[in-house]
Structure 1
Amino acid sequence: MFVYILGFLLIWFLCWWMRDKLKVGKVSDKYVFITGCDTGFGNLAAKVLDVGGFRVLAGCLTEEGARKLKERTSSRLKTITLDITKPESIENATDLIKQEVGNRGLWGLINNAGIPGILCPTDWLQIEHFRRPIEVNLLGPIEMTLKLLPLIKKARGRIVNVSSVLGRLALTGGGYFPSKFGMEAFNDSLRRDMKYFGIKVSCIEPGVFVTKLTDCGLQRHEKQELWNHLPPDVKKQYGEEYLKQSDTRQEKLVKKLSNTDLSQVVWCMEHALTAKYPRTRYSAGIDAKLLWIPMAYLPTFATDYLLTKDIVIDSNAV
């Protein structure tokens, strides 16, 4: 019986593997728009897809980011200034994309732009600390998608949403995790809604990669600024050693788990655009596959214990 089950699983895997390798054909006439191309995943994706023959439209927040990207890519690639938090900027980008793609429509939209915001205990924060990451990581991509859907329908194209494996598991307070949980929900509903129009929607869930989002020095500075302005009673509740402990813990975790190979995430983007049958979800990074996703399926009490066991707070001060 065991041999039959093993044989069935092997045949199933081989069929899945061969299906996963099927491609859509030539891409030289296909337009792809990527947000957040100044640095990180978006920057590398723009370069790789440009080399691969796509007609890349790269959304950049800064002129410097756009200039540097142009210097390292072909004349096919066009940059578009985009602040994902401003409706007028999204409207302007949409008009430029319409002019560029013409009647072909837009084959791919990669919602990649994102920021971490401040990651620290919830009672240190104000509503503004939640609002900014949610605007950049969730509301901006939603508005961008709504504006470009008519063009994507015309091409029967693809939408790729870059979430995070931490869209399944919130490690601490701040707006980053709610924004990524929200992106997961938006992605799921969009995928089902667009199925009837032949549009494929994929979600990428990277683990911990070395980008500006994992800059521990910046996080440490922002947390210190918050700590300096906390009410004395809150400082007393946490204790003077808490900030140092949390910084050390975060830096050890990032150092141990962070991956410098951004191409793993870009491969997921490229596959979602070029595969005949793209996956609905992509996890990038060993830590995503072997740590964060399994942890998200543990009983809640077990996950809570693992994520808080090294934190020491003076509960007598409350």
Structure 2
Amino acid sequence: MISAITAPHIFHQLKWYYVAVIYIIAPVLAFCNAYGCGLTDWSLVSTYGKLAIFTIGAWAGAANGGVLAGLAAWRVMMNIVSTASDLMQDFKTGYMTLASPRSMFVSQVIETAMGCVISPCVFWLFYKAFHDLGLPNSEYPAPFALVYRNMSILGVEGFSALPKHCLTLCYIFFVAAVVINGMRDAVGKKRARFIPLPMAMAIPFYIGGYFAIDMCVGSLMLYIWRKINKAKADAFGPAVASGVICGDGIWTLRSSILSLAGAKPPLCMKFLSKNQNAKVDGFLNS
């Protein structure tokens, strides 16, 4: 009720009944995402949010601000679905560490309330510090904003705005994923390990090739570790992987602080091809 009342005051294109429909549908999607996240440790919250972009955007229509309504609905849907999966992951961690489920739930409620205050403050800080925030050539171009805006436009205008053969490729890869998963289930566990997972192959296309490189290096390290000492690798492998992931996140935090302070790197490193490097050397020597 609070969301249905307050959200339309912030985004006038998002009507109260759009928010009400989202809250009716979201629990089912939240359950699916929490279940899948528990199995794979990968939250598909943005994928469920895209459903809100397409449905609410098409429902509102271009004449009634469907683009902005779809984007606002996407954020509402993501907040609901992500909170459910995060809570279940916290319960999973609490179970492994023998923590109190009641304490975990109370902590989640406190964190959610803090996020309602801290997140707008952080956005306002960036908005005031960088006046060109979100522009293509700015320090923070926000590329995902352009991606999701185009998705919302697609939901309003229909599939006619897609590139040629885009839907055909979507159909082909969808059927291929179903067939490959069916083959994995049919051949048994011993042979299934030689058939690649469609979900694993799709992740690098979704979030970038760097993820595939990180997973490849990490898998190689775990493989060698298991050959040396399988018991220790099975016991401490998840903890080491978590530490590596957290270390990457800690540097992201430092980088954000340095960017806010306006710090500039003392030097810049760039990798070029052989031909391009020869041209640069020739230009510097001229």
TM-score norm. by structure 1 comes to 0.23
- Normalised TM-score (structure 2): 0.25
More helix by share: 2
